[in-house]
A and B are shown apart, each in its own frame.
Chain A
Amino acid sequence: MSGMKRRCGLAAASAVALLAMAACGGSAGGTSNSSDADGDGISIALSNGFVNGWRLTLIEKFEAEAEKLKAEGVVSDYTTVNAPGENSATEQATQIRSLMLEDPDVLMVIPASSTALVPAVEEACNAGITVIVLDADMDAPCATVVRNDYAKWGEESIKPALEAIGGKGNIVINRGVIGSQPEEEFHARQLEILKDYPEVEVAAEVKGFCDSGTAQKELVGVLGSLPEIGAVPGCIGGMGVVQAFQSAGREAPVVVFDTDGKSLRFWQDSGINNGSFATLTDPGQAVAAIYVALALVDGEELPDEVVLPLLQIDQSQLGYWLSELGPDDYAAYPWDRETVRAALDAVKAGEPAVAPQVG
């Protein structure tokens, strides 16, 4: 019994000693195995705010490209970490800070919040790390933002649908993640486009949250009270929208499908050919971001924001993507060194970046 007491005492003493040692350690710490640009390749860490199918494709693409560059000796090491919890900025800030201890050359952040993570990002910049903010806007001038254009996405999510119904009729707008800043830009652009189509009537708005299942549930709730609907443009979820209409015994409207294999397969199998399409942000931007980071580490001056094109799939490209994608994969542009170079040159010249050739 007294033995146990001693053990506990020792453990407590060692805990105190450790903390004291740490506190007195001054700035003697720091890793010895960190590599830098002019050494043998750069190290990249990716911090992701939360996980869904689209993000998994993004991480997969990132890791595949990093692995390839590692074999070439360009990248010495890479890590991917997802913050636990549901898109929690506080957890991700902790995670970014522990990644900073590993002293990577490049830190990529897919932020859970565009505001709350600014201090963590600035700390990383101050520690001499090249920081790339991915798939979000952020007001942190020390970081380079790589993202898609959300206003353009708003346009692409509605314009082809309005054209497909001949510019007149009733539509239901399928809103995205309401409350997020990209959604605000997305929706504002949609409303602008709608002004050009005076004969289009917005019969309802549903909160689909860019999720097929949610869109279906929301639509089933209101569909009974709606007139004939020609199109349900908005933030993806086309599969759920079609299923909602079919279960109500109504004809499928023009919808916006997700760009994953499962949705595209559904699109083909259901034989929908009314001008429906798929459009979504490009998970391949993570690969592009690697090359943006390499350019930055090489000392190239780049604009604060690199806006890359969206991914769009129409009926004619359906066959190609179906042959490329597994059920859970999202379509992504095949970015590589040359295409990113061309995109960067375009962005520097103030022109829109061009996507790599598909198919």
Chain B
Amino acid sequence: MTTLTTTPRPSARARVKASAAHGSPALLAVVATAVIFTIAVRQQPGILSTSGLTLVLMSAVPLVLAAQAQMLIMAVGDVDLGVGFLIGLVTVIASTLLTSAPLWGALALIGLVAAYAVLGAAIEVIRIPSIIVTLGMSFVWLGLGLQLLPTPGGQAPAWLTEVGQWRPEWAPAPLLFIAAITIAAWWVIQRSRLGARVRALGSNQTTLRKLGWSTLRVRVQTYTIAAVLLICAGLMLAAQTRSGDINSASNFTLMSIVAVVIGGGSFAGGTAHPVGATFGAISLGLIGVLLSLASVASHLQSAAQGLIVLALLAGRIVMEKVVK
């Protein structure tokens, strides 16, 4: 037993500060999800079953994917205002081209990924703010969607609807999807070199350049991965609705940003918390379920939803103040 330590342990205070600074933003989303979930279960114990969890978490799956994509883009200091209509466009492609001409459908989806890569390059090279580029592109997605399918409808291919109807006995399918997505995103952000570069691009471009990395390449890679995630979100939504509608995800743009912010991301870039973004998205999804269960007067539901989101965001600011 020796009292000597080679490196002095940081004080408890410093450790809490450090862990709070790194982990607390994501923790808020986890706590919020737990609280909302507990209240919902009290209202309706039926949630605590495989079928119950499937029902309440189903709609969160596309939103979790969208939130991860938005998280990546916000990590490099940008923001994507085209998320909603892009996902809508993917549902439209899925329920038209992908069924009638699978090859063309697949090509169209690959084209969307390529378009995002070009967007990333344009934002890096020409230095147009991402907010303008993506807002502009959102109208392009809307136009293309309306061109392909003016009124909601169409039919998603059978293999896709089977994904949406997959119901394993042993676990709620949405929970499995969400876990898989989150683990993959966590690995990319925290464990891969690309993740470190993505965060560096958002917080410290000079260092990134000094180390010899091309900022252009990192941004293009970020946008490409984000596009793939958004396409997955659209396909998942089409799998659940079996049809296409360009407007079906129009609220995803703001919801994905809110999910990232609740989950610890920031508009300044440099931070990425995949677990936080996932829980942020789940808590947003659960708010809707909770309000239906709690029989909040129907005309107050939208307002109540907004107030809860505001409370969550305020909670994050308070938490950060307390920690500092």
Contacts and interface: CB of A to CB of B under 8 A. Distances in A.
Q: Are A and B a genuine interacting pair, yes or no?
A: yes
Count chain A CB atoms within 10 A of each CB in B12, B47, B150, B305 and give the residue with the most. Answer: B47
Contacts of A273: none
B237 interface: yes
A30 B50 CA distance: 10
Interface string A99-123: 1111100000000011111110001
Interface string A70-81: 000000000111
8 contacts: A1-B13, A18-B38, A23-B172, A27-B50, A93-B59, A97-B289, A113-B152, A113-B245
A226 interface: no
A5 B298 contact: no
B34 interface: yes
A28 B45 CA distance: 10
Interface in B119-164: 150-154, 161, 164
Nearest to B238: A116
A116 B237 CA distance: 10
B109 interface: no
Contact residues on A (Cβ < 8 Å of other chain), bracket:
35 or more
Interface of B: 12-13, 16, 19-20, 24, 27, 30-31, 33-35, 37-38, 41, 44-53, 55-56, 58-59, 150-154, 161, 164-165, 171-172, 175, 237, 240-243, 245, 247-251, 285, 288-289, 291-293, 295, 298-299, 301-302, 305, 322
A27 B49 contact: yes
Contacts of A84: 288, 291, 301-302, 305
Nearest to B295: A79
A342 interface: no
A13 to B, nearest CB: 9
Contacts of B240: 93, 119
B168 to A, nearest CB: 11
Contact of B55 (A31, A97, A184): A97
Contacts of B292: 81, 94-95, 98-99
Given A15-B30, A23-B50, A97-B58, 10 more contacts: A2-B16, A11-B35, A22-B49, A23-B53, A29-B51, A59-B298, A81-B295, A94-B59, A115-B153, A118-B241
Interface of A: 1-2, 4-5, 8, 11-12, 14-15, 18-19, 21-23, 25-31, 48, 51, 59, 79-82, 84-85, 88-91, 93-95, 97-103, 113-119, 123, 179-181, 184
Q: Which 3 interchain pairs have the tightest Cβ spacing?
A: A29-B49, A15-B34, A82-B298
Contact of B289 (A11, A59, A94): A94
Contacts of B291: 84
B217 to A, nearest CB: 36
Contact of A90 (B30, B55, B164, B241): B241
Given A2-B12, A5-B16, A31-B46, A81 B59 contact: no
A3 B249 CA distance: 42
Given A25-B49, A179-B150, A1 B245 contact: no
B151 A179 contact: yes
Contacts of A116: 152, 241-243, 245, 248
Contact of A5 (B19, B247, B251): B19
A19 B174 CA distance: 12
A179 B150 CA distance: 7
A88 B289 CA distance: 15
A266 B61 CA distance: 50
A125 to B, nearest CB: 14
Count chain B CB atoms within 10 A of each CB in A98, A99, A118 and give the residue with the most. Answer: A98
A22 B53 contact: yes
A51 B297 CA distance: 13
A31 B48 CA distance: 11
B24 A115 contact: no
Contacts of B251: 85, 88, 90-91
A34 to B, nearest CB: 9
Count chain A CB atoms within 10 A of each CB in B24, B52, B58 and give the residue with the most. Answer: B52
Contact of A118 (B35, B243, B322): B243
B44 A102 contact: yes
Contact of A89 (B20, B35, B52, B152): B152
